Structure 1
């Protein structure tokens, strides 16, 4: 028995290794005599401060791509083809695969030169690069050894500005600490050019660019030490012109031009409020970009084009009774803003397929959008949804299906709507305001639920720092339970056990009035999300003033309906480590905790955490895992009780590009949910510091993705590795005792898991 299980574990590895060996050997037939297959390229640096992986971009010739950085499957696919290109199978295999990369000494020499220049740009002016070739059969491993040496340090940084007006403009912006040593790098010097250019472009210098700035360096003070001088030249219009002061431009007029024959669909006040280019102000590149950004946020606008024209202006001089006019020394610009209208109304119909813990269903969504409701680019969206799902495995219930009908209305304003704010603040703010209202009808075999919701929200962004913010000023939900089946009451609500008493709270009429704040940071390789949500505090303060009535359970009520009170905190972090253009490792961690207090002893059902599924621990389906080592009722999935007050997710996913639009992934997931209190009918579900690490579930698996850039279709297959809800050693350590029927879970989803 043991040998059979061991065979099941090592057999896939053996097959992969066999294929890899065959592929490696068969590639030789496409390598001509006297040439070598470039098997691997590596960079090695003498200094730890120099990141060799970042310099790989300067290597012109790399080896064939590898799946998961290990297997040269594209090369193997190519080498499976015969040399007869008239046969379609050979042409197809070659097209699907990747041609062998043959070592080119010229490319290697040029790569060495590029690496040397890159190191010099980093301040290592005496850097050298050596090549080492290791040949084995018809394969060659190429090593680049980087010898950066000591970096050059800037002792003194000086400014020489020929334009007297610009010197006054920049006087307070120049670095006063000229003796502070800095490493002599092309990047730092270029950044200083960009900084000064940006300041001048925002100070009226419409025609200024960084090519008017150059550097000289003096290294006579000593080895690896230099004095640097930044030179800012006068303005030269062309090679035949005499150097003069740089022209400084003032906005003369702002003109709005319709982009099509239909004219403007927006009110003039909206056009002006979103335009930061103003008559009488100096030209500002930042104001220009913010104006573009403002119009891009308006759903009623398809595109915006802003052009500037030099406008001649004249000064008048009175001589006797007559006036003479001379050209003004100040330079002026006319701004022409062309605005093209977007299609105001759209209607869409979208069918959906649903799968909730294995229960299949279908849904339809009818949507209507108006992008310019009050001619101020107000965005109204209406959504009507109907869904049906066949539910299996529920005994004792007459109906075995789930029906849902909902209507949602959202009205978004492309500006910050609030009293006591200045017009200038509103103009320069990137915030949007949104009011929403919705009604949701759910009919399950166990109960019927009605949810009314409304909210007032703000959303704004800071693109320069990759930040977005969400603020829910007021978010109201009213949960109404018109019917609960007798079976559900008997099994869950009417018993006197602790669990049923807690569940009863979630199946009563309930008010949830909450506020929340969320922060999102997203860059190329990092993403961070944090959210805080507080509910019931405002109502609790009012209850103390107006003495709200208490129900039979001692809960304070509004209109005879208890209100929820809790605090909820969520944190989510993702980091992507890129090895090359085809391979990357994504690391993810998520932590959430919600604490009921005051008027609540239990979280509302919609606010509780669940684990498992396509975006969590993928060896389990949605709501199959937890809390803690709780196994459900008699080992069966318990939709109601497999929720908790705390959640932990830890994920590592190695992603690789295969070919065409296909990507693959190998992943390891870990996590679980827990309750904060010890509930009698959820044994093992409470979070305890001494035990929680023993209750972390672990899964592993493989995924296949169809990557169409604008959306990703994902197929993941997860296997349980460590199961905290076990009845035997085999069940607990499923990694060593795999059972496909028991341990395998398939997931279909859209988008990446994190």
Structure 2
């Protein structure tokens, strides 16, 4: 209570005499309090922002001295005794530094703090006008507004705004008055999409959007000279009993000359010629062009030798010669030309050739053919104390004269491992080398004409890539080879489709003998069993890899040795199956399709949804080929290609994200995810690279990555994964002050094995009863918005842990000691 009293008094310490600190705004509409952001934003003056009811930034501001220079002058410089005493303790230079520090801290308090909001009645009256205009613009033409000031003796004030809307006005009849018969005909063809409709409440914004819609529709039907200024509306509410009669007025074109004003009807324009200048610059625009090519009615010009195949350029220009003018063609041309990544700042200008024909001039300024890139990175992780990486790249534009982009990038990294496999290894004992070749073609690369299936306005593109990497002294050491042939297109600005016609991945493990050094939990379990059955003395350990492999063969022999019980045998079986799966080489030949629907209007939109769907099939082509070639299966009943058993599976994923903007930088975000991968044919499990894991900064934040699941199993494996995943997340985000935001969250989900070779009941999804093993984590976090990215810090607490017995799962480890601390970039969803 004492603290509350002190902070309460401190809040008004910088409020001048006879002035009042604004502490609260209340808006009452038709006798009901309204806290919506739309209404709140109409108020000019708002109280100082509070955190948990306390105006923290106001108190910081009040801690600062408003006249710090005068105070220092009087108390230090003008006080001879104090100056003498201080200069004995400090040199003059140290004293000046100490004073500068005080001033700096005082300035920081002012910058970080927030000055008290002093009641200004003139702004209150402006707010009242805003409230009235808002309601009039939304159909309450008879709205009346008043305000009431509530002042207290302790220099505080509240404002109460009252709005009585009266009944809303409803649109009744809609008529039209169009001066040009041609325009009337075109307007009627678009009238079904009108935004102003009978029986709906009057809203000014609908009339503004309808004016824009009419203008856009008519310009896309050939009316080159048409604009929004030619559309107006007549509103009649006299004697209509709260009804609005609307007249749509579209006037003819008015041409003003120095001496006369002429009214002309609109005409449909045709594009007569399209000129494309392929190497335009401001400096050379007026110089003669040396080369001219005619292709499909287009005229292409260049000062030097033509660098591009004509079709590659004309395909990117939607404005076609001898066609009706459409404004959307210019918009689509800009979009496609920018997506070529070959030109900078394309420019399209129309010139009126006659009173009904146009010439379209397209000016293209090429980017440099070659671009070099280079990045360096220093990192630290749980397996290396320090790592250094270099990533050079070379980009070659228009490599085949079809606006294609070819990129070569390389990775070279070295690192120092925390736990060396060999004490004789050098300090930098981790290394990785790789190269990636990528070709982007700005169309669907196909022997068939695909324009009717995927029109060019969908911005189709093809990407072909090949890559290889070699990694040593990390895990089992690996060599990977991959290649893909990918199509991408966007049917609309909200939907993107992606088709991997084929994707090939080959993973070769180079150091299988290191398995039990990497997966220490498996080794510890195996080693303990060997001691328990007296296979080795208690003070000895199994050697890696010879002793571990010999013991596995011994324990799994038929018949099973007498000293090994069924529970131990089950554990050894699991260890051996996991070892075989994680050490075998993988060959994956897959085809996949993905769809993304993103309704965000811009980066600042916080009321949107995103839906992602992906389906993938692997191994079917290789399986059918093996049958046709009459290949024989190995001892595990699997076909092999290049002595590697290829993977065969079906995999699908659904991901849905929804954000609700609650106003005042308050956002509720939700994510749901479901994924399943089912092995069949040539496989009885899913490759590690294609399996699912749970936990981590972007998943269930109460568990570290790979540490959750599968199911309710108490596994202590370093990397837990499975082939079924369910994840849910809910997060409430709110602003603290300026760019610092906070969030509270609840995450739920888990992974399970299903329809594969895992037999552990606790790790498998057997029925809907398995949903009781969904893990729940909750927590809170801070986010700092740097504009171009968000730095995120989250603390997750294990709220419901399925690895415990069912009666002891809730809040068992709900404390800071067992919490997981996550650092991430940008939001988790």
TM bracket, shorter-chain basis: 0.7 to 0.9
Deviation at 1:42, TM superposition (A): 4.2
Deviation at 1:685, TM superposition (A): 2.5
Q: Which residue of 2 aligns with 1:201?
A: 219
Q: Which residue of 1 aligns with 2:94?
A: none
Distance 1:25 1:517 in 2: 64
Deviation at 1:412, TM superposition (A): 0.7
Distance 2:248 2:422 in 1: 84
Distance 1:667 1:581 in 2: 19
Contact in 2 for aligned 1:592/1:648 (Cα 8 Å): no
Distance 1:176 1:729 in 2: 60
Greater shift in the superposed pair: 201-210 or 494-503: 494-503
Change (3 A) 1:730 1:444: farther
Deviation at 1:349, TM superposition (A): 2.6
Distance 1:232 1:731 in 2: 70
Distance 2:813 2:151 in 1: 40
Counterpart secondary structure, 1:480: strand
**Greater RCO structure (CA 8 Å; 6+ sep):** 1
Distance 1:45 1:548 in 2: 79
Q: 1:90 aligned to 2:106? A: yes
Q: 1:72 aligned to 2:52? A: no
Contact in 2 for aligned 1:414/1:433 (Cα 8 Å): yes
Which residue, out of 132, 135, 139, partners 1:119?
A: 135
Which residue, out of 394, 415, 418, partners 2:446?
A: 418
Contact in 2 for aligned 1:481/1:509 (Cα 8 Å): yes
Contact in 1 for aligned 2:252/2:263 (Cα 8 Å): yes
Deviation at 1:19, TM superposition (A): 8.0
Unmatched 5+ residue regions in structure 1?
1-16, 313-329
Q: Which residue of 2 aligns with 1:259?
A: 280
Deviation at 1:221, TM superposition (A): 6.9
Q: 1:511 aligned to 2:587? A: yes
Contact in 2 for aligned 1:39/1:141 (Cα 8 Å): yes
Q: Which residue of 1 aligns with 2:14?
A: 30
Greater shift in the superposed pair: 429-438 or 184-193: 184-193
Contact in 1 for aligned 2:733/2:741 (Cα 8 Å): no
Greater shift in the superposed pair: 403-412 or 285-294: 403-412
Q: Which residue of 2 aligns with 1:55?
A: 39
Q: TM-score, normalised by structure 1?
A: 0.85
Distance 1:747 1:112 in 2: 47
Which residue, out of 678, 696, 709, partners 1:595?
A: 678
Counterpart secondary structure, 1:673: strand
Change (3 A) 1:561 1:690: same
Deviation at 1:457, TM superposition (A): 0.8
Change (3 A) 1:93 1:288: same
Q: 1:428 aligned to 2:457? A: yes
Change (3 A) 1:356 1:672: farther
How many equivalent residue pairs?
Answer: 710
Q: Which residue of 1 aligns with 2:540?
A: none
Contact in 1 for aligned 2:693/2:720 (Cα 8 Å): no
Deviations 1:338-383 (A, max 9, x none): 2122233222232224455565442332222223322332122222
Which residue, out of 439, 447, 465, partners 2:476?
A: 447
Which residue, out of 228, 248, 264, partners 2:268?
A: 248
Distance 2:614 2:732 in 1: 24
Contact in 1 for aligned 2:458/2:492 (Cα 8 Å): no
Question: How do 1:548-559 and structure 2 match up within 5 A?
Answer: 548-559=631-642
Contact in 1 for aligned 2:731/2:743 (Cα 8 Å): no
Which residue, out of 773, 777, 787, partners 1:698?
A: 777
Counterpart secondary structure, 1:456: strand
Deviation at 1:510, TM superposition (A): 2.6
Contact in 2 for aligned 1:499/1:679 (Cα 8 Å): no
Question: How do 1:344-383 and structure 2 match up within 5 A?
Answer: 344-357=369-382, 359-362=384-387, 363-383=389-409
Deviation at 1:167, TM superposition (A): 1.8
Q: 1:608 aligned to 2:686? A: no
Distance 1:733 1:394 in 2: 38
Which residue, out of 147, 171, 174, partners 1:157?
A: 174
Q: Which residue of 2 aligns with 1:471?
A: 499
Deviation at 1:230, TM superposition (A): 0.6
Distance 1:20 1:626 in 2: 47
Contact in 2 for aligned 1:303/1:341 (Cα 8 Å): no
Change (3 A) 1:370 1:128: farther
Deviation at 1:485, TM superposition (A): 0.6
Q: 1:305 aligned to 2:305? A: no
Deviation at 1:598, TM superposition (A): 3.1
Contact in 1 for aligned 2:515/2:579 (Cα 8 Å): no
Distance 1:176 1:344 in 2: 46
Deviations 1:544-601 (A, max 9, x none): 5444432211123334432222222222233333344544343333332222233322
Change (3 A) 1:452 1:653: farther
Deviations 1:448-486 (A, max 9, x none): 32221111111223554x222222121111222344116
Q: TM-score, normalised by structure 2?
A: 0.77
Deviation at 1:337, TM superposition (A): 1.6
Distance 1:378 1:343 in 2: 13
Distance 1:685 1:39 in 2: 57
Question: How do 1:281-292 and structure 2 match up within 5 A?
Answer: 281-292=323-334
Distance 2:513 2:4 in 1: 60
Unmatched 5+ residue regions in structure 2?
70-102, 285-302, 517-544, 557-572
Distance 1:683 1:19 in 2: 57
Which residue, out of 801, 809, 821, partners 1:746?
A: 821
Contact in 1 for aligned 2:617/2:651 (Cα 8 Å): yes
Contact in 1 for aligned 2:688/2:721 (Cα 8 Å): no
Q: Which residue of 1 aligns with 2:411?
A: 385
Distance 1:18 1:436 in 2: 69
Q: Which residue of 1 aligns with 2:621?
A: 538
Q: 1:339 aligned to 2:418? A: no
Change (3 A) 1:704 1:190: closer
Deviations 1:510-565 (A, max 9, x none): 32122222222331232332222222233344445444432211123334432222
Distance 1:398 1:734 in 2: 44
Which residue, out of 649, 658, 679, partners 2:737?
A: 658
- Cα RMSD of the aligned pairs, angstroms, is 3.5
Greater shift in the superposed pair: 707-716 or 617-626: 707-716
Q: Which residue of 2 aligns with 1:81?
A: 64
Q: 1:641 aligned to 2:720? A: yes
Deviation at 1:435, TM superposition (A): 0.5
Contact in 1 for aligned 2:138/2:204 (Cα 8 Å): yes
Distance 1:19 1:473 in 2: 68
Change (3 A) 1:52 1:714: closer
Deviations 1:202-222 (A, max 9, x none): 122122112211112334574
Distance 1:493 1:520 in 2: 47
Distance 1:419 1:389 in 2: 46
Distance 2:34 2:5 in 1: 35
Greater shift in the superposed pair: 376-385 or 71-80: 71-80
